[in-house]
Amino acid sequence: MNTLHIMIVDDEPKVAFFLGKALEHSNKGYRVSITHSGEEALGIFNDHPIDLLVTDLRMSGINGLELIRQMQASSPQMRTILITAYGDGEIEAQARRLQVGRYINKPFPITDLLNAVQEMLVE
């Protein structure tokens, strides 16, 4: 069985660190990469394919929706989770158009993310 690679993208280092550690300690054997910008994520993605992208919406530079759009262009099978504290109907509609697998509003219990990740990787 291949180790599943999850990339966490959040411009708040403490949030990204916490989410990454929660996934690493979930005993599922995930390989977790943490980045703090869409640009940094694209650089890693170009060298290392990922199975699941978990990205914040609002970041300087490339936002989460644009990051998903760019990554899906070269890896349509990649699964995605969008997290945001600034969601609204238009953001949700854009996420649906991009076929984002899960949409999670901040703040959220960490179990919501762990469950969403598990569901996304067994679908």
How much of the chain is helix, strand and coil, in % rounded to 5?
45, 20, 35
Segments making up each domain of the chain, as ranges = 5-122
Assigned token pair, 89: 């109907």
The model's confidence at residue 32, banded by pLDDT at 50, 70 and 90, is: very high
Spatial distance between the Cα atoms of 71 and 40, rounded to a whole number of angstroms = 12
Do residues 102 and 81 touch, judged by C-beta distance below 8 A? yes
- pTM across the whole model: 0.95
Per-residue pLDDT tens over the stretch 58-109? 999 999 999 999 999 999 999 999 999 998 999 999 999 999 999 999 999 9
Q: What is the pLDDT of residue 3?
A: 87
Residue with tokens 């966490």: 8
Give the class (CATH, top level) of 5-122.
Answer: alpha beta
Spatial distance between the Cα atoms of 110 and 70, rounded to a whole number of angstroms = 27
What are residue 88's DSSP bridge partners? Answer: none
Residue 64 DSSP code: H
